[in-house]
Amino acid sequence: MDSMLLYIIDLFGTAVFAISGVLLAGRLKMDPFGVAVLGSVTAIGGGTIRDMALGATPVFWITDTTYLWVILSTCLLTMVIIRRPKRLAWWILPVCDAIGLAVFVGIGVEKSLTFQDSALVAIIMGVITGCGGGIIRDVLAREVPMVLRSEVYATACIVGGIFHTTALSMGYDNSTAFMAGVFSTLIIRLGAIRWHLSLPTFAINK
C-alpha cells in the first residue's frame, strides 16, 4: 500500500480514536487534563504496545510527533465543539470507536508484515493495535474493557485480520488487502452495534 496514503489513514484513525476517548471523558465529567490523557491513550495505546512487541523502537509517536499534535488538536476541538456529550445520540461513541478500530487493525497487520512474515502474528498485532488503546481507556475510566465483554469486538478484529492476510496470500495487492480487512472489521462491528449482537458468555454455576 502507498506509504503516504497509509500515513494519512493512520492519522485519521488516530483522530477518530482520540474523539472516542474525549467523548467518554466528557460523559464521565473529567477535567481537561483527564480528557487529554484519555484521548491520548485511546489513540496511541495499542500502537505503542504493538511497536514495543515488534521491536520497532522508538515507537511511532516518538519519531513522528505529528501524532501527538493531531491528538491534542482533536481533543481541543472536540471539547470546544461538543459542550454537552450526554445529549449526543447514543450511537456516536460506538460508531466513532468502530471506525477507528477497523483502521487500526488494518494498520497493525500492515506494519507487522513489514517486520516479520507470519500471518498469525500479523493478525495478533492487528488485534492489539485495534483493542489496546480501548482497553487502557476503559481501565482508566473504571469500566470493564469492551474487548472483555460479550460484545462482538475483538472477534471483528480477528476476522478483519484474517481477511487482510488471506487477501495477501491470494495475490491481491496491499491496498486491496488492506481495504478488505478494514471493511470486514467495520461491517461486523457496525452490525454488532446495530443489532446488539454478542457472543455467548462463559459462566460457572454455583
Cβ atoms within 10 Å, residue 55: 8
pTM for the predicted model, two decimal places:
0.89
Residue 171 lies in a domain: yes
Give residue 11's domain range.
3-195
Q: What is residue 87's predicted lDDT score, i.e. its pLDDT? A: 65
Residue 108 lies in a domain: yes
Residue 205 lies in a domain: no
Count CA atoms within 13 Å of residue 194 on its CB side: 6
Whether 93 contacts 141, CB under 8 Å: no
Residue 135 lies in a domain: yes
Domain count, the chain: 1
Residue 175 lies in a domain: yes
Residue 202 lies in a domain: no
pLDDT in tens, 29-82: 899 999 999 999 999 999 999 999 999 989 999 999 999 999 999 999 998 887
Q: What is residue 151's predicted lDDT score, i.e. its pLDDT? A: 78
Which residue carries 480528557 as its cell? 35
Residue-level pLDDT, tens digit, the chain, 206 residues: 567 877 887 888 899 889 889 988 988 989 999 999 999 999 999 999 999 999 998 999 999 999 999 999 999 999 888 766 556 677 877 887 888 889 899 999 999 999 999 999 999 999 999 999 989 999 999 888 878 876 799 999 999 999 999 999 999 998 899 999 999 999 999 999 999 888 887 777 76
Residue 200 lies in a domain: no
Residue 40 lies in a domain: yes
